[in-house]
Structure 1
Amino acid sequence: MRRLGLAALQIDAEASGNFDLVEKEIRSVVKRFPWLRLVALGELIVHGPSTEKAEPAGGPTEKRFQALARDLDIWLVPGSMYEARGGQVYNMAPVIAPDGMIVSRYDKMFPFRPYEASVASGSGYCVFDIPGIGRIGLVICYDIWFPEVIRTLSAMGAEVILAPTLTNTIDRDVEIAIARANAATSQVYMVAVNGTGKLGNGRSVVFGPGGELIYEAGTGRDVIALELDLDQVAQVRERGWHGLGQVMKSFRDSSVSFPLHASAAQRQEALSGLGELAVPERESPASQSIPHSSKPTDDRPQANGRSGRD
C-alpha cells in the first residue's frame, strides 16, 4: 500500500516576517507526527504579498528552508515566495527533497491579474516523484481556476496536487468548490492550503479522487496531518469512484479535439470581445440607473442626518 504522510499547515501569520513562526510550526508537526514525509504551507507565507521582498534563486529564504528539510529529513513545499529572475518577478514555489536539494521550482502560471499585475507568468508544469510512494503535482492559488492545468498534471501522472493559496476574499467558498470539482474531474487528491491571520481566511481543504471531502479547516490556525492512500487514485481511475465514472479513461479515449486549447492565438481571437484585463474602476453616478419614485418627496433637511421617518 502506498501511503503518503502529509501535513498541510494553516498558519496564523503576520503580514510579513513569518519565518521563525513557520520553522517552529514545521518542527513541531514533524516531532508530533514522525511518520510525515511531506509538509506543505500556504502561498507567500513567509514574506507576504509584497514583490519588494523578492529574492534571487537560491536566496537566504530558500537556503534556510533547504537546511530545515535536510535537518528534519522531509520533503518540503514551503508555500511560495517572490523570486527575482531575468529582470522579472515570479511567484515561485520550491520543492525541496529530504537531502536539502531543490528538485523543482514552480512559477505560478496564472498570477491573480489584474491585481498581481507586476508578477510574470510561468509556463512549465511541475510534477515530482517521492520514491516508493507516488507522483505529486504543484500549482499555486489562482491556477486551480483553470481546470486545464489540473487535468494536464493528472495526465502527467500526478496523484496528489498541492495548491498553496493566499486568499482573504469572499470567494474562498467558490475556490473550495473549484478544488472539489478538480479532484473529481481529474481523479486526483487536491490539497489546497490557505493561510490565516493577516494573510488569509483559512478553510484549507483536502479532497479525495472522487471529489469526496476528507477535511476542511476552520478560519484559525490548523494542523492538517493525514495519510493519503495513493493506491486509491489508481483504483478510482481504473474502476471509477464507487464503480461510477472512469473520467480519465474517457478523456484519454475521446476523439474530441479542443482547438482553443491547442492554439493560444485562436483562444485570444475567440475571446477578444471581453475587453482589457484591468482592475474595475468605480462607476460614475451618470453610468448608474437611478430609479424614480412616484411618491412625493420631502426635500427639507432632517435632524441628525436622517432622510426620512424611523
Structure 2
Amino acid sequence: MSYFTIAGVQMHALHHGDNTEAMRHRIDVLMSRFPQVQMVLFSELMPMGASPHHAQPLPSNAEAMFCQLAEQHRIWLIPGSMFEQVGGHVYNTLSVINPHGQVVTRYRKMFPFRPYEAGVESGSEFITFDVPRVGRFGVSICYDMWFPETTRTLAAMGAEVILHPTMTDTIDRDIELSIARTNAAVNQCYFFDINGAGAIGNGRSIVVGPSGDVIHQAGTGEEIMPIEVDFSRVRRERETGLRGLGQPLKSFRDRRVDFSLYRNEGGSTPFLDTLGPLAKPQRADIEEY
C-alpha cells in the first residue's frame, strides 16, 4: 500500500485539566465524517494539560481509554503526549497505539523546553515504528525539532513520516513553521507538526511534504486535517532527489567529513561553555533617578 491517511487534530483544550472526554468526542466525530482516516494525531500534552503536577505512571486510565478508542475505530492513534511519573522523575511521554488497542511503543521527549519546562527529565531513546504493508514512522515532540540531529537520526533509521505533536503558545511559532519545512526537505520525509489551539497552543499546525512543500497550514482555531500521504513519493524522491536535484540523505551517508563536535563529551566546545547557564532571562536592574 502506498497511500495512507493521517488526520491531525488542532483543538481547544484546558491548559490545566482533563481533556480526554473532549478528545473522545472529537475522534468519534472525525471518524464519522472522514471514515478513510487510518491514523489520528493530537498535539503535545493534550490529554491531561500542561502541568507536570498531573503526571501519572504509564499505563494509566487515560491511556487505556485511548486504547479502547483506537480499537473501536480501527485506527492508529497518537493522543499527543502526557506527563509520565517514573519514581521521582517526570517525563513528557507519547504513546503509539495500534488498531488492536495495543500500545506498541512510547517515546519520551529528548529536549524539554528548558528552562521553561523545568523539572521534566530528558528521554534518551529514538523511536520508530512500522505500519505493516505501509511504511515506517518516527516520532518527536515539540522542542525536539529545533535540534536537527533528532530528525536526521529518525530518517537514518528509515522513518518516512515524522509525527510531531507540539504545544506552542509563544511568539516563535513562525520560526517553527520554517523548521518543519526544513526538517522535511533535508530528510526527504513527510512532517506532521500538530499544535493545539486556544489556551494550549496558538495553532498554525503544518503538514509538509518530502520536498519541503506545504501541503496544509491551519489557522489559529480548531481544525481537523485529514491528509493522504504517498509513501512511493518519499521513496522516489530519496532515490532521484528533491525535485530531481539534491539527494541529502545519500550525501550525508557518503560524506567524508567527521563531525568532531559530536565526539566531545556532552557536545560542548570552549565557545559553547562561554554562553552561561541555561536559565530564564532576568529583568535588568534600572537605576532610579
Post-superposition offset of 1:270: 4.9
1:83-98 superposed matches below 5 A: 83-98=84-99
The aligned counterpart of 2:9 is: 9
Q: Deviations over 1:34-55 (max 9, x none)?
A: 2211100000012111011101
> 1-side partners of 2:242 and 2:226: how far apart?
24
Post-superposition offset of 1:4: 1.3
Post-superposition offset of 1:286: 4.5
The aligned counterpart of 1:172 is: 173
Number of matched pairs: 288
Read off the aligned partner of 1:245 and give its amino acid letter: G
Indicate yes or no: 2:63 matched with 1:62: yes
The aligned counterpart of 1:212 is: 213
Question: SS at 2:268's partner residue?
Answer: helix
The aligned counterpart of 1:75 is: 76
Which range moved further: 139-148 or 31-40?
A: 31-40
1:117-266 superposed matches below 5 A: 117-266=118-267
> 2-side partners of 1:279 and 1:122: how far apart?
22
Which range moved further: 119-128 or 9-18?
A: 9-18
Q: Deviations over 1:17-66 (max 9, x none)?
A: 21111111111111222221110000001211101110101111111111
The aligned counterpart of 1:293 is: none
Read off the aligned partner of 1:53 and give its amino acid letter: H
Read off the aligned partner of 1:185 and give its amino acid letter: V
Aligned partners of 1:107 and 1:123 also within 8 Å: yes
Read off the aligned partner of 1:5 and give its amino acid letter: T
> 2-side partners of 1:81 and 1:277: how far apart?
24
> 2-side partners of 1:30 and 1:244: how far apart?
39
Change (3 A) 1:57 1:74: same
> 1-side partners of 2:238 and 2:179: how far apart?
20
Change (3 A) 1:94 1:280: same
Change (3 A) 1:58 1:231: same
Indicate yes or no: 2:100 matched with 1:99: yes
Post-superposition offset of 1:86: 2.8
> 2-side partners of 1:216 and 1:126: how far apart?
26
Larger Rg over CA atoms:
1
Q: Deviations over 1:149-178 (max 9, x none)?
A: 000000100000011000000000000000
Read off the aligned partner of 1:176 and give its amino acid letter: L
Aligned partners of 1:259 and 1:266 also within 8 Å: no
Read off the aligned partner of 2:4 and give its amino acid letter: L
Which range moved further: 8-17 or 228-237?
A: 8-17
Question: SS at 1:238's partner residue?
Answer: helix
TM-score (norm 1): 0.90
Post-superposition offset of 1:138: 0.2
Percentage of identical aligned residues: 48
Post-superposition offset of 1:226: 1.4
Post-superposition offset of 1:13: 1.4
Change (3 A) 1:53 1:2: same
Question: SS at 1:55's partner residue?
Answer: coil
> 2-side partners of 1:286 and 1:257: how far apart?
50
Q: Give the aligned CA root-mean-square deviation in angstroms.
A: 1.5
Read off the aligned partner of 2:2 and give its amino acid letter: R
The aligned counterpart of 1:306 is: none
Q: Deviations over 1:162-219 (max 9, x none)?
A: 1100000000000000011111111111100000011110000000111001000000
The aligned counterpart of 1:302 is: none
Question: SS at 2:41's partner residue?
Answer: strand
Post-superposition offset of 1:94: 0.3
- Structure 1 portions without partners, runs of 5+: 291-310
> 2-side partners of 1:140 and 1:199: how far apart?
15
> 1-side partners of 2:134 and 2:246: how far apart?
25
Q: Deviations over 1:243-279 (max 9, x none)?
A: 1101111111111111212433452555111110011
The aligned counterpart of 1:41 is: 42
> 1-side partners of 2:99 and 2:267: how far apart?
44
